[in-house]
Amino acid sequence: MNKAWVLGVPLDRVTLGQARDKLARWLQEDKTRLVFTPNAEIIALAQDNPQLKQALVAADLTVPDGVGVVWAARYLGSPVPERVPGIELLESLMELAADQGYSVFFLGSQPGVAEEAAQRLKLKYTGLRLAGTHHGYFSSQEEQAIVKMLQDLRPDILVVALGAPKQELWLWRYRFVLPVKIALGVGGSLDVLAGRVKRAPLIWQRLGLEWLYRILTEPRRLKRAWQLPRFVGMVLRQKRT
């Protein structure tokens, strides 16, 4: 069995390296693949959002981005090899794209963030081909124009940072009309890569407390933090049933 299941959401049993190898193979194929990085909050939200759960279940790759998800999988008797942070998977994919000449489009975050992140990544990964960028503050009318732009540009990789669950639902809605090989939902990763938000220090990451660091340094996240104990409660209940 190559998937673990937590509250009805599948998690691929892969390391970061194995996930990268899978993405490398997909870039050689002419098919759109959806890649999501669910954490405890996203899985909790999926319990009340059937369309979100459907998108997560049908995704081509879902990796556990969060210590809570790794704990839950192990506690439920279906462990995963390791946590695979979305930002690290994104950087690994950018390195791969630069090495092999694949083009990337960045969609999401506040105006200017996608551009900053893209330019920093181009400096870090020499040869990275930028197909374009667009911020995530668009209307329903502008949305169709963005889809048309992507159809015209035909990037190999689409990086979407609209926040959960909007990015997952957006990619699920347009999955059949996006002419890309890999579409990846990355949450707030572009803000980090653009230098707008600092990632937790390594010691916090190793202790599995990156989520706490983000709450402490970004108080606006506090109102979403209640999903964490809710997630734990649902996992405990599933174990008893």
pLDDT at position 58, please?
Answer: 97
Give the amino acid at 166: K
Count of structural domains, the chain: 1
- Residue 36 in 3-state DSSP? strand
pLDDT at position 96, please?
Answer: 98
Question: What is the residue range of 10's domain?
Answer: 3-240
Q: Which residues contact 37 (CB under 8 A, 6 or more apart)?
A: 62, 63, 64, 65, 84, 85, 86, 89, 184, 185, 186, 187
Give the amino acid at 37: T
pLDDT at position 107, please?
Answer: 99
pLDDT at position 50, please?
Answer: 98
Strands 9-12 and 157-161: unpaired
pLDDT at position 104, please?
Answer: 99
Neighbours of 177 (CB within 10 A): 11
pLDDT at position 227, please?
Answer: 84
pLDDT at position 52, please?
Answer: 98
pLDDT at position 144, please?
Answer: 96
pLDDT at position 210, please?
Answer: 79
Give the amino acid at 197: V
Burial class (CB in 10 A: 0-12, 13-18, 19+), 125: middle
pLDDT at position 204, please?
Answer: 86
pLDDT at position 209, please?
Answer: 75
pLDDT at position 140, please?
Answer: 87
Which segments of the chain have a pLDDT < 50?
Answer: none
Q: Report the run of H or E that residue 61 belongs to, with start and end.
A: strand 61-62
Report the chain's C-alpha Rg in angstroms.
17
Task: List the alpha helices (DSSP H) in the chain.
Answer: 16-26, 40-46, 50-58, 67-75, 86-100, 113-124, 140-153, 166-173, 189-193, 202-206, 210-217, 227-240
